[in-house]
Structure 1
Amino acid sequence: MKKWDKNIQHDIKEGILQGQGVRKLGEDICFTVAVPDKKACSLLLYKKGRKEAEAAIPMEGTGQYGDLRSLLVKGLPADRYEYNYEIDGQVVTDPYACRIAGRESFGKAVKEEELRGRICPGAFDWEGDRPLRLPCEEVVAYAAHVRGFTKHSTSKVKAKGTFAGLKEKIPYLKELGINQLELMPVYEFSELASMDNPELKKYAPLDGGEPRINYWGYSPKAYYFAPKASYAASDNPVQELKELIKELHRNGIELVLEFYFPKGTKASLVLNCIRYWVVEYHIDGVHINRDGAPVEALAQDPLLSHTKIFSESFALDEIYEEKAVPAFRNLAEYNDGFMLDGRRFLKGDEGRLTAFTWRARRSPARHGVINYMANHNGFTLMDLVSYDEKHNEANGEANRDGSNVNYSWNCGEEGPSRKKRLLKLRMQQLRNAFAILLLSQGTPLIYAGDERGNSQSGNNNAWCQDNEISWIPWKTGKTETGLLAYVKGLIAFRKAHPVFRQSRELQMTDYLSCGYPDVSYHGKQAWFADFENYSRSVGILYAGSYVEAGTEEKGKDDFFYVAYNMHWMPHEYALPGLPEEALWRVAVDTGIEGADSIYQEGQEPVLEDQRMITVPERTIMVLIGK
């Protein structure tokens, strides 16, 4: 290794402190790194692609601010060099590197010492792009994995499994009706790592064979500032990801990125990381785990006041002054609560009615709620109605991994079936699941592929499956197209009727003195719902007079009566009277197959009996009062 020629003084200057990492300052490059006091540190420069460093530049005597050391190298051609640091005799890759070289191929084992930091290119032309700042009640979200979304041979994209491939699918997302995309980790993580690290022992299967692939990306070792090189079709993941974000925004779709921070992660790194992605990549939000991140500190950061922050929970009294309500609800509770209560209600378990109705109307004043019926951690929706038990044998843990509590029901036969009656019931349960999700207040989130009936063959913990178990097949059969058309229609129905996406939590009172509460519950007798433990059915009346989702929509929606019958036998519902001699009409009926479940605007059939309705078993019907 060559030592830097100290006589060439004009090539090196004291650095300019602008935070850790590397900054381009005109033709010069500024390197800043945190080094424990009194430890020796040198900047190592490598010709691009070379294993040995060409030069080592001592950083003693350079710009020093606390533990930060900074130096500026004048005239360094950024596109021809990579870098690391040597700290106390050990080669260290910059944790703040904006690009990482060495992991361009997904699933290829690379030693940590073989990685290099890359110097990012110049400014990106955002063409006036800004985060969209959509109100949380207006969002219909979609959770996906960059690689798995388009990697399957049927995806019909050129750049499969990449940011560019995802960009090719934006027309599909827009047609579906979603306006927020959430991606599992897209930063540089180790999907294959040495078993010498005790934290990575869990990656080894029981038989002691080769380590499995960490497909999801929740890794104890990651480079949080660098987009994953193997998720790029080009040799520039920074450019490719920014192009994706800009195109998403052009189509009215927000981007939320998930970050996993292990316990013990320094709070300063987390704060700097999230700020960096917001400023540098224009992301609209982050989903973070509170046990490894300073959630409350992020929530109070002025820079992030319009950035959506999703986590399991928040200590709101530490964030806001007493009774203070934010002008923009950027915080959102993201946990399995809605999923667990919703699944049990869908399945027809006893004693779930009270919990479900609370979930369905919940939308707190100081934070939003993210609702989902399925996510990456657990069964897909199709598997939820096809399996009673998990089937994770392919993971190498003798089916001992993954949750044993799924609240699923196979409808009478485990796994794939050819029985028409059973298949019909499964599809009806899928339509019910989407209705439970999309007709509830809060922010609904759809797990990628569920709208097409995707199955993982009963695997509820596919963290290590970089194959067709996790990749979404883009089938176009009758089952897939029928369910897809239904989901599109239901999303459009939600968007057309703000009564299902109100900006304030429903109070169950007539605070407008209009003769109707904002929401009320009914059963065989109007205004009297049966909430006994055995009850599995309820009618929910929404009064359109209470809509406050913007001045143009205020008070302008219709009345809706949603009859949920999750029982295995029909139930009668008494219908409350409507104002101004309006009539009840059928808008949605999950007992009808495909998109025909949803009637077109103006074509909803009038009920013959305006006082009573019988809803068949395991069916949800939506009535509109016109």
Structure 2
Amino acid sequence: MSTTSAQALPHLPSPGVHPVDGGVEVAIHAAAASAVWLCIFDDEGDVLRRDAGTSKGGETRVALPAADDGWWAGFVPDVHPGTRYGLRADGPWEPTEGHRHNPAKLLLDPWARSVEGSLSYEPAVYGHVVDEAGEGDPSVRSDLDSAPFVPRCVVLDTGFEWGDDAPPAPARDERVVYEVHVREMTMRLPGVPEHLRGTYAGLCHPVTIEHLKALGVTTVELLPVHAYADEPHLVERGLTNHWGYNTLGFFAPHARYASNQDPHEVLREFKGMVKLLHAAGIEVLLDVVYNHTAEQSIGGATLSWRGLGEATWYRLDEEGNDVDVTGCGNTLDLTDPVVIEMVLDSLRYWVSECHVDGFRYDLAVALGRGEDLGYEADHPFLVAVLEDPVLSQVLHVAEPWDLGPDGWRTGQFPGAWAEWNDRFRDAARDFWLADAGALSRGEVSGDGVREIATRLVGSRDLFGERSPLSSVGFVTAHDGFTMADLVAYDEKHNEANGEDNRDGNDHNRSWNHGAEGPTDDEVIQLARRRSVRNLLGTLLLSSGIPMIASGDEIGRTTDGNNNPYCQDNEMTWLDWELDTARTDLLATAAHLTELRREVPVLRDHDESVIGWYDEAGQPMTDETWEQDDRRTLQLHLAGEPSALLVVHGGLGPVDVTLPDVGPLRLRWDSAWERPEDAEGAEGAEGADEATPPGGGEPADESSASPRPPETLTPLSLRLYTS
């Protein structure tokens, strides 16, 4: 090991380590530190050191001069793109005050553009003394050097030839979001070369894009692609953090998702993916996790932020313990200007440098908590993303809850923020599954049609005067049952996760239709398929922005595991060997997105175009709205064209008279196994059974002949248009 000093600068550089002529400029924030070093590793010495688990050789420590406001900054010559580096910081060890400086710990740069190498949970990676099991006293500082066991940062040249790339920028009401995991999508996708499966390149392969376009997807929402680490308890069980909600680097794409592990190639491949998806007219959103980091609680490893200034980066109580509103051990403190700066810099980097089109924020309420831990809709961070000249141009979607006090905040994010609508999810599941299952058992359940009606037209009770397009409707997401499992399991089956089935949600609002899991009973299979179509139809024909969870369109199952966060295997990888039923389901999903495009009034509208009718075609009254046993409802939306949704959640068939709202034709029925079934269906295009005698509008209600009633299949959903 050798030591030297950086050259002082007359200005404060941008945070992080950035190449300039002749070297790099460095700026690191460590407000309470007494010394900070940039640690540079030569490739050969670093490899030998890490392989041997020794702290000898390969490292040059460059002392950084102190600058203003807690920053340490300087110029370091002869450091170029491709150089591996880390940080070390010395200073007070006062855990109760939030100070855990320890120069024996090699730290990641919070602004690093690349994170390379793996993390090994040896005792040395903890800032405090621990045993081989990771147990110890967080108040006693460890002198073991962590460098052999932690990843490196890499200086990058971020140049890329974007050509004429431009954001697809679909109109907000035209978006159809597809939540997808980079690996899951293509690990078994025929036509994608094997060496590209599970990679950024695989996700933008022509075969993948063809599927997305045929489905009608405008926007892919990628599960976390920031560099992340596996948690110790998963490593002990031989599992991995498959979903990636455990961030190590907020500026670095996760290297494992690249087909080439060279740090520069990882970034180029990510950018190439965005460019090719854009060329196909598909937006790219990132699921981002700014609420916590991979360092876990105070008993966790010291990998970056903790070693630079725990009191700056994390929410702590008066005794120096983590205030955890995330369920992940720590909470980033977005009341601190430096933390806000880091998050905003990260967001801008992904937009400006990588051309992404927006973000979905995990546990977003944690980002809007003030000094007293209360949620603030005018929190500086939440407002900043809408006012920033770069970030205001892209889409921001909140997961509007966390695990802290009063953590459920759906409908309470400011301005142009969109929000995951969990009430939509619950209403769709309750109406079509949980309540129907209860009825099949002779139980009384549900609140009639009031809740499902509210969700169909944009959840105005939650979003008030904001547009229905503030609501991101979904029935399933990465966590929880898949759509196919919602109709096949009453209980979760998470034994493969190694936690004795204790993990995951126990309240799934699912219905197995009479058998738990796979069955050869054709009656049950038929009912399950119709229920999936009801859920898809409710999702794709409702107001707001719909989000499809990847694989739901092809009947994906995770075998009843509703929390497969640690299953990077065939349980979660999409199965593309489609039988007739799954092929029909894909055709149905594509047909529904096409209908959504054709009928704008389904997507967004004001209250003046809404009409509610009962099964007799008569306007709903206060009395009929309050009927808890009501299971049939008609929703008319006046427009060009107009739309009529007929919802029937009863266990038996029902005769329905369509309201006198002008000529109508049946466009889709969830009783149809495939869209082609419309060709012979009563009221389909070309037929006139649903049109008043003589055609056109009746002169008035008294002169109109009554429409003949139509019989709806049990548990079914129809769409008519003018």
Q: TM-score, normalised by structure 1?
A: 0.85
Amino acid at match of 2:542: S
Task: Provide the secondary structure at the position in 2 that maps to 1:277.
Answer: helix
Amino acid at match of 1:82: R
Greater Cα offset, 372-381 or 258-267:
258-267
Residue in structure 2 matched with residue 150 of structure 1 by the alignment: 186
Q: Equivalent of 2:277, from 238, 243, 248? A: 248
Does the aligned pair in 1 maintain the 2:119–2:151 contact within 8 Å? no
Does the aligned pair in 1 maintain the 2:28–2:73 contact within 8 Å? yes
Residue in structure 2 matched with residue 345 of structure 1 by the alignment: 431
> What is the CA–CA distance in structure 2 between the aligned matches of 1:381 and 1:161, rounded to whole Å?
22
Task: Say yes or no: does 1:58 pair with 2:63.
Answer: yes
Residue in structure 2 matched with residue 549 of structure 1 by the alignment: none
> What is the CA–CA distance in structure 1 between the aligned matches of 2:398 and 2:88, rounded to whole Å?
36
Greater Cα offset, 604-613 or 42-51:
604-613
Task: Provide the secondary structure at the position in 1 that maps to 2:178.
Answer: strand
Residue in structure 2 matched with residue 620 of structure 1 by the alignment: 717
Task: Provide the secondary structure at the position in 1 that maps to 2:353.
Answer: helix
Residue in structure 2 matched with residue 2 of structure 1 by the alignment: 2
Question: Offset of 1:157 from its aligned partner?
Answer: 3.8
Residue in structure 1 matched with residue 9 of structure 2 by the alignment: 14
Does the aligned pair in 2 maintain the 1:155–1:473 contact within 8 Å? no
Distance 1:153 1:609, change over 3 A: closer
Greater Cα offset, 413-422 or 126-135:
126-135
Question: Offset of 1:478 from its aligned partner?
Answer: 0.9
Distance 1:129 1:266, change over 3 A: farther
Greater Cα offset, 461-470 or 450-459:
461-470
> What is the CA–CA distance in structure 1 between the aligned matches of 2:108 and 2:10, rounded to whole Å?
19
Distance 1:483 1:167, change over 3 A: same
Listed as ranges, the matches of 1:15-414 within 5 Å are 16-48=11-43, 50=46, 51=49, 52-60=57-65, 64-79=67-82, 81-88=83-90, 89-90=103-104, 91-103=106-118, 113=147, 114-152=150-188, 156-158=192-194, 159-168=196-205, 169-191=208-230, 193-194=231-232, 203=234, 210=237, 212-219=239-246, 222-234=248-260, 235=262, 236-260=265-289, 261-262=291-292, 263=324, 264-267=331-334, 268=340, 269-288=342-361, 289-294=363-368, 296-301=379-384, 302-303=387-388, 304-313=391-400, 329=416, 331-347=417-433, 348=436, 349-362=445-458, 364=463, 365-366=465-466, 368-414=470-516
Distance 1:108 1:2, change over 3 A: closer
> What is the CA–CA distance in structure 2 between the aligned matches of 1:609 and 1:476, rounded to whole Å?
39
Distance 1:233 1:317, change over 3 A: closer
> What is the CA–CA distance in structure 1 between the aligned matches of 2:282 and 2:448, rounded to whole Å?
34
Residue in structure 1 matched with residue 703 of structure 2 by the alignment: none
Residue in structure 2 matched with residue 548 of structure 1 by the alignment: none
Does the aligned pair in 2 maintain the 1:155–1:474 contact within 8 Å? no
Deviation per CA, 1:272-300, whole angstroms, max 9, x where unpaired?
A: 32222222222211111224324743442
Distance 1:590 1:153, change over 3 A: closer
The answer for unaligned runs of 5 or more in structure 1 is: 195-200, 321-325, 510-516, 545-556
Deviation per CA, 1:162-192, whole angstroms, max 9, x where unpaired?
A: 111111112221221100111111011102x
Question: Offset of 1:346 from its aligned partner?
Answer: 1.0
Q: TM-score, normalised by structure 2?
A: 0.74
Question: Offset of 1:86 from its aligned partner?
Answer: 1.8
Q: Which runs of 4+ in 1 moved over 4 A?
A: 107-112, 314-320, 597-602
Does the aligned pair in 2 maintain the 1:44–1:54 contact within 8 Å? yes
Distance 1:520 1:96, change over 3 A: same
Question: Offset of 1:392 from its aligned partner?
Answer: 0.9
Deviation per CA, 1:354-376, whole angstroms, max 9, x where unpaired?
A: 11111110165536111011111
Question: Offset of 1:130 from its aligned partner?
Answer: 3.7
Does the aligned pair in 1 maintain the 2:398–2:418 contact within 8 Å? yes
> What is the CA–CA distance in structure 2 between the aligned matches of 1:216 and 1:38, rounded to whole Å?
34
Amino acid at match of 1:33: I
> What is the CA–CA distance in structure 2 between the aligned matches of 1:568 and 1:384, rounded to whole Å?
18
Distance 1:352 1:154, change over 3 A: farther
Does the aligned pair in 2 maintain the 1:522–1:541 contact within 8 Å? no
Question: Offset of 1:563 from its aligned partner?
Answer: 0.9
Amino acid at match of 2:474: Y
Distance 1:604 1:336, change over 3 A: farther
Task: Say yes or no: does 1:585 pair with 2:659.
Answer: no
> What is the CA–CA distance in structure 1 between the aligned matches of 2:580 and 2:518, rounded to whole Å?
16
Greater Cα offset, 135-144 or 292-301:
292-301
Distance 1:75 1:128, change over 3 A: farther
Question: Offset of 1:266 from its aligned partner?
Answer: 3.3
Amino acid at match of 2:424: F
Task: Say yes or no: does 1:605 pair with 2:687.
Answer: yes
Greater Cα offset, 127-136 or 490-499:
127-136
Question: Offset of 1:110 from its aligned partner?
Answer: 12
Distance 1:109 1:35, change over 3 A: closer
Amino acid at match of 2:165: D
Deviation per CA, 1:47-85, whole angstroms, max 9, x where unpaired?
A: 236244342211136xx1321122222343322x21111
Question: Offset of 1:593 from its aligned partner?
Answer: 1.1
Residue in structure 2 matched with residue 491 of structure 1 by the alignment: 593
Does the aligned pair in 2 maintain the 1:587–1:599 contact within 8 Å? no
Does the aligned pair in 1 maintain the 2:668–2:675 contact within 8 Å? no
Does the aligned pair in 2 maintain the 1:24–1:122 contact within 8 Å? no
> What is the CA–CA distance in structure 1 between the aligned matches of 2:114 and 2:158, rounded to whole Å?
13
Question: Offset of 1:491 from its aligned partner?
Answer: 0.5
Task: Provide the secondary structure at the position in 2 that maps to 1:3.
Answer: strand
Listed as ranges, the matches of 1:439-518 within 5 Å are 439-502=541-604, 504=605, 506-507=606-607, 509=608, 517-518=609-610
> What is the CA–CA distance in structure 2 between the aligned matches of 1:280 and 1:466, rounded to whole Å?
29
Deviation per CA, 1:141-160, whole angstroms, max 9, x where unpaired?
A: 00011122222375744311
> What is the CA–CA distance in structure 2 between the aligned matches of 1:239 and 1:86, rounded to whole Å?
29
> What is the CA–CA distance in structure 2 between the aligned matches of 1:150 and 1:16, rounded to whole Å?
47
Residue-pair matches, total: 570
Distance 1:419 1:319, change over 3 A: closer
> What is the CA–CA distance in structure 2 between the aligned matches of 1:210 and 1:459, rounded to whole Å?
17
Does the aligned pair in 2 maintain the 1:539–1:561 contact within 8 Å? yes
Residue identity (%): 28
Deviation per CA, 1:545-590, whole angstroms, max 9, x where unpaired?
A: xxxxxxxxxxxx22222111111111222222234xxx32211111
Residue in structure 2 matched with residue 550 of structure 1 by the alignment: none
Distance 1:465 1:15, change over 3 A: farther
Does the aligned pair in 1 maintain the 2:111–2:250 contact within 8 Å? yes
> What is the CA–CA distance in structure 2 between the aligned matches of 1:423 and 1:132, rounded to whole Å?
40
Residue in structure 2 matched with residue 596 of structure 1 by the alignment: 676
Distance 1:472 1:317, change over 3 A: closer
Task: Say yes or no: does 1:533 pair with 2:600.
Answer: no
Question: Offset of 1:316 from its aligned partner?
Answer: 11
Task: Provide the secondary structure at the position in 2 that maps to 1:92.
Answer: coil
Question: Offset of 1:608 from its aligned partner?
Answer: 5.9
Question: Offset of 1:123 from its aligned partner?
Answer: 2.0
Amino acid at match of 1:266: D
Amino acid at match of 2:615: G
